[in-house]
């Protein structure tokens, strides 16, 4: 961040709840809304389920979290202040653990944002103590009732309130020095009792392949969150990532009820840095809605050179409707004439491709591996397009054949 921008921002951090709502704290920057398409049958909700405020160990007021989310076009956030860790309590005294939620809800009046009542259960991990680490409880009715000593009792209370619980940063180096997420006997017990329904495969700048495998093996929702404590602008955009890590949730409506139903159905995909991570049945529809292919005919049909023979090189243009730049590998079985087998489809851009079909076909099946889209550890998503060779054919625009 430029120092001049930081100077403009700092006075806003101390403003009380009612004064920030109408102020754009980032007037010098352009459109920061995250843009990804909806998928057939569902809205693509952009969500951050792990953020902090001054009511635990965060550095901003709850209504600033609302301003940041609205600015980025998010659909839902959960303010997950710690239950057991409140270092600012001497300066911001409070007795109600729901206070940060109440302030945020007031700030969203008339605005297209869902704020979930939530809390972070903040415990240790083996071998230091037989506890499960940190967990977020979303969709709470009253966070105060989670202030109990025994963590199992806490999670049972969350379940009674209808909460959706995620296991936070299982590979966090402070609690897991080797960075390997593992299911301990206590976690196994909690999973068997259905007290945990999701797991963070991404937290801030960390990705855990082991957490992704746990999600797949244990049927947990795949979640990615910022876990932001400072102003979001201090970290995003940054050198490593231009956006916060978020969870796409595929919901039937833009409501809290539909959001919860989608999470319980495990319809999620994580966007982190320039990568998408999710189960194939969730990730492939998003990729199919994001990437389109259009035939521009055989090279000899479109060339301005009259002496060009009737080639069998097919021109195709790929389009990208998202903020992600896709890294693609051609595995179609056709050689490429104007690219190597690995190339980049820029965000909100398009590129011309030439495929050497070796014969004039009425239709070509293009098969592309998306190297920055994971469906499992070290397994990349694959999309297919059946492209008509006639550029004037309406069907040439796109026919998805993704497995």
Average pLDDT, the chain: 88
For the segment 172-177, the average pLDDT, to the nearest whole number, is 91
CA-based nearest residue to 136, from 83, 67, 194: 83
Could you tell me how many residues make up the chain?
Answer: 403
Q: Tell me the average pLDDT across 265-291.
A: 98
Residue 384, strand partner residues: 367
Domains of the chain, first to last? 3-273 (3.20.20.140), 290-396 (2.60.40)
When pLDDT is averaged across residues 13-28 and rounded to a whole number, the result is: 39
User: What percent of the chain lies above the pLDDT cut of 70?
Assistant: 86
Mean pLDDT value across residues 331-340: 95
**Segment 202-224 mean pLDDT:** 97
Q: Crossing angle for the helix pair 99-107 and 62-71, nearest 10 degrees?
A: 40
Mean pLDDT of 102-107: 96
How far is C-alpha 15 from the chain's CA centre? 30
pLDDT-based confidence at residue 13 (cuts at 50, 70, 90)? very low
> Mean per-residue pLDDT for 236-243?
80
pTM, whole model, 2 decimals?
Answer: 0.88
Mean pLDDT over residues 171-196, rounded?
A: 95
Give residue 222's pLDDT band: very low, low, confident or very high (50, 70, 90): very high
When pLDDT is averaged across residues 284-305 and rounded to a whole number, the result is: 83
Predicted pLDDT at 310? 73
Q: Are 208 and 201 in contact (CB under 8 A)?
A: yes
d(CA 104, CA 311): 62
pLDDT tens profile 357-400: 998 888 899 999 999 999 999 999 999 999 987 766 544 444 44
How large is the average pLDDT for residues 130-134?
Answer: 94
Rounded to whole angstroms, the Cα distance separating 246 from 90 reads 32
pLDDT bracket for residue 260 (50, 70, 90): very high
The pLDDT, as a whole number, for residue 152 is: 97
Which pairs with CB-CB distance under 8 Å and at least 24 residues apart come from 7-13? 9/231, 9/233, 12/64, 13/59, 13/60, 13/61, 13/64, 13/231
Is the model's pLDDT at 343 over the cut of 50?
Answer: yes
**Mean pLDDT computed over 164-172:** 96
Pick the closest to residue 271 from 248, 288, 290, 249 (CA basis): 248
For residue 15, pLDDT beyond 50: no
Q: Which residue has the tokens 């990208």?
A: 320
């Amino acid at each position: 961040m430029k120092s001049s921008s930081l100077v403009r921002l700092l006075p806003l951090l101390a403003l009380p709840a009612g004064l920030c709502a109408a102020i754009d704290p980032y007037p010098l920057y352009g459109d920061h809304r995250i843009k990804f398409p909806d998928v057939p049958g569902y809205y693509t909700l952009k969500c951050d389920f792990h953020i902090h405020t001054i009511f635990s160990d965060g550095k901003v007021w709850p209504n600033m979290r609302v301003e940041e989310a609205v600015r980025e076009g998010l659909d839902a956030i959960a303010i997950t202040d710690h239950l057991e860790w409140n270092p600012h309590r001497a300066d911001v005294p409070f007795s109600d653990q729901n206070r940060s939620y109440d302030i945020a809800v007031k700030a969203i009046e008339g605005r297209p944002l869902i704020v979930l009542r939530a809390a972070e259960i903040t415990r240790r991990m083996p071998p230091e103590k037989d506890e499960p680490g940190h967990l977020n409880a979303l969709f709470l009715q009253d966070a105060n009732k989670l202030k109990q000593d025994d963590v199992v009792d806490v999670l049972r209370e969350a379940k009674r309130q209808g909460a959706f619980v995620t296991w936070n940063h299982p590979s966090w180096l402070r609690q897991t020095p080797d960075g390997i997420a593992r299911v301990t006997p206590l976690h196994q017990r909690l999973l068997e009792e259905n007290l945990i329904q999701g797991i963070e495969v991404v937290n801030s700048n960390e990705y855990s392949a082991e957490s992704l495998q746990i999600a797949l093996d244990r049927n947990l929702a795949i979640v990615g969150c910022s876990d932001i404590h400072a102003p979001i602008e201090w970290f995003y955009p940054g050198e490593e990532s231009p956006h916060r890590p978020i969870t796409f949730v595929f919901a039937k409506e833009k409501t809290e009820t539909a959001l919860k139903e989608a999470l319980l159905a495990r319809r999620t995909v994580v966007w982190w840095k320039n990568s998408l991570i999710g189960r194939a049945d969730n990730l492939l529809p998003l990729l199919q809605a994001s990437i389109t292919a259009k035939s521009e005919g055989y090279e000899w049909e479109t060339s301005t050179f009259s002496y060009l023979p009737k080639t069998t090189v097919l021109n195709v243009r790929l389009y990208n409707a998202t903020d992600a730049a896709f890294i693609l590998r051609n595995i179609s079985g056709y050689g490429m004439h104007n690219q190597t087998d690995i190339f980049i489809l820029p965000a909100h851009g398009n590129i011309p491709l030439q495929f050497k079909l070796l014969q004039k076909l009425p239709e070509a099946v293009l098969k592309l591996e998306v190297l920055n889209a994971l469906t499992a550890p070290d397994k990349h998503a694959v999309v297919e397009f059946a492209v008509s060779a006639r550029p004037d054919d309406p069907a040439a625009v796109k026919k998805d054949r993704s497995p």
